[in-house]
């Protein structure tokens, strides 16, 4: 049984508002902990989530769901149809782990060296399985519940792969919701973006700056690709500070520069790898154009040339106004106004964005911290969220499903 929650003011309100859901969710806690620890112990990288997806499919089948496997390579979809026709709500969880060590001091730490659930996707997956179990017990009267267990979020390809495999259809969803753990929030707290976008579009670029190699003692006989690169990099930062509206969030960062073999040799070429993060689609397009213009012109001015390779990865995560307001109302109804916080958009990426571009959606954060041991940030080797957070995650998503399918209109 769950300790510490029965007297919790927020959770007691859930008992008052929805006693059946309260009883159902709390009764699942021990089973959810067991599932989550098993997933934490056996993490799998992007598009390698074979064991995880097999476990998910097995549970869904045993609970009476229609199950589609191998969607987007290793994705799984579970569908539970109500007694009557109605709207379709979709919930999504990502399943993949990160290529990094697991340094938690628990018996359920990763058994796979260099692979760990340090972004909380084990919690996400377990949380959605909890929702699945809830509705296998209490049923769906009207409408359809569609659960999407997605691979490969960490490389930004999983959602797109599932969509290309038909995840949006059969049945088509009318609304979607997704969440991410947040160790910056306490257990029992939720946050949602105060703007139209929840997360940034992620683009990757590469510059190949070409000059003419030569002896460092005779730079006038060469075309110095290193110096050209330096001029380009300084100028690129002027895009953000001088050419983009200060109220329009943009990040341009350089993470890698390669060139040369020795300090006395001017290299023929220098390569630069970086990333651009934007919120607005029009700004996203503008950034590529400005980077190309600056790089080409500066390189030409010094007698060199520059090739830009620009890869549009995930789009920005868009929160539908009605879906976001519905989420806020649901949180306040069952947990109170103090449970919801409003945050600025994150400039980090999240490929739930592909779903949010196609279906009215809301993406929110679930608090997982209850002290020092559970406060390590995601992507930290010691990240380990408080498992009681799953009760809040299961409860809020279950309430979203119940309320949405019962609503005649937004």
**What token pair was written down for 152?**
């490969």
Tell me whether the omega of the peptide bond preceding residue 57 falls within 30 degrees of 0, making it cis: no
Q: Report how far apart, in Å, the C-alpha atoms of 328 and of each of 8, 34, 88, 308, 410 are.
A: 20, 30, 20, 43, 13
Residue 57 in contact with residue 69, Cβ under 8 Å? yes
CA–chain centroid gap for 164, Å, is: 19
Which residues, other chains included, contact 160 with Cβ-Cβ below 8 Å and sequence gap of 6+? 72, 351, 354
Token pair listed for 71: 């969607």
The span from the CA of 274 to the CA of 215, in Å, is 29
Q: Please write down the long-range contacts of 12-17, taking CB distance under 8 Å and 24 or more positions apart.
A: 13/334, 13/335, 13/336, 14/334, 14/335, 14/395, 17/333, 17/334
For tokens 């579970």, name the residue: 78
Answer whether 268's CB lies under 8 Å from 225's CB: yes
Rounded Cα–Cα distance for residues 37 and 67 (Å): 24
Q: Is 272 helix (H, G, I), strand (E, B) or coil?
A: strand
Residue numbering of the annotated binding site? 119, 121, 154, 180, 379
For every residue of 175-212, DSSP letters joined together read EEEEEEEEEEEETT-EEEESSSEEE-EEEEEEEEEE-B
Residue pair 190/373 in contact (Cβ under 8 Å)? The answer is: no
Q: Which residues sit in the known binding site for Mn(2+)?
A: 119, 121, 154, 180, 379
Angstrom distance (rounded) from CA 365 to CA 199 = 11
Cβ neighbours of residue 237 under 8 Å, at least 6 residues apart? 252
Q: Which of 41, 69, 33 is nearest to 54 (CA)?
A: 69
The sign one gets for the Cα dihedral 107, 113, 119, 124 is: negative
Neighbours of 351 (CB within 10 A): 27
């Amino acid at each position: 049984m769950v300790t510490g929650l029965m007297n919790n003011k927020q959770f007691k309100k859930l008992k008052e508002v929805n006693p059946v859901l309260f009883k159902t969710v709390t009764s699942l806690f021990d089973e959810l902990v067991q599932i989550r620890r098993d997933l934490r112990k056996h993490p799998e990288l992007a598009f390698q989530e074979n064991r995880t997806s097999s476990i998910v499919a097995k549970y869904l089948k045993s609970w009476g769901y229609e199950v589609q496997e191998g969607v987007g390579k290793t994705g799984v979809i579970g569908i539970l149809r109500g007694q009557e026709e109605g709207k379709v709500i979709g919930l999504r969880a990502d399943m993949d782990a990160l290529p990094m060590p697991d340094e938690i001091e628990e018996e359920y730490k990763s058994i796979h060296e260099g692979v760990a659930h340090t972004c909380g996707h084990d919690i996400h997956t377990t949380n959605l399985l909890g929702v699945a179990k809830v509705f296998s017990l209490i049923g769906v009267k009207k409408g359809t519940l569609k659960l999407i267990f997605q691979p490969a979020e960490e490389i930004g390809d999983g959602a797109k792969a599932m969509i290309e495999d038909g995840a949006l259809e059969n049945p088509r969803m009318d609304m979607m919701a997704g969440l991410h753990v947040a160790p910056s929030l306490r257990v029992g707290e939720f946050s949602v973006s105060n703007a139209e976008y929840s997360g940034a579009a992620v683009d990757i670029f590469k510059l190949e700056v070409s000059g003419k190699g030569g002896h460092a003692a005779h730079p006038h006989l060469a075309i110095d690709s290193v110096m050209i690169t330096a001029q380009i990099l300084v100028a690129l930062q002027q895009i953000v500070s001088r050419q983009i509206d200060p109220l329009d969030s943009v990040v341009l960062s350089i993470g890698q520069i390669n060139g040369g073999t020795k300090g006395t040799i001017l290299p023929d070429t220098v390569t630069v790898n970086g990333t651009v993060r934007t919120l607005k689609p029009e700004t996203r397009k503008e950034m590529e154009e400005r980077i190309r213009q600056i790089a080409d012109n500066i390189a030409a001015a010094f007698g060199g040339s520059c090739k830009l390779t620009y890869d549009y990865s995930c789009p920005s995560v868009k929160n539908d106004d009605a879906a976001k307001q519905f989420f806020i109302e649901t949180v306040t109804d069952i947990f109170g106004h103090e449970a919801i916080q409003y945050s600025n958009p994150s400039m980090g990426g999240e490929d739930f964005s592909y779903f949010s571009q196609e279906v009215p959606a809301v993406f929110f954060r679930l608090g997982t911290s209850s002290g020092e041991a559970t406060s390590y940030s995601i992507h930290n080797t010691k990240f380990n969220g408080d498992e009681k957070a799953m009760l809040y995650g299961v409860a809020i998503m279950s309430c979203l499903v119940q309320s949405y399918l019962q609503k005649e209109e937004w």
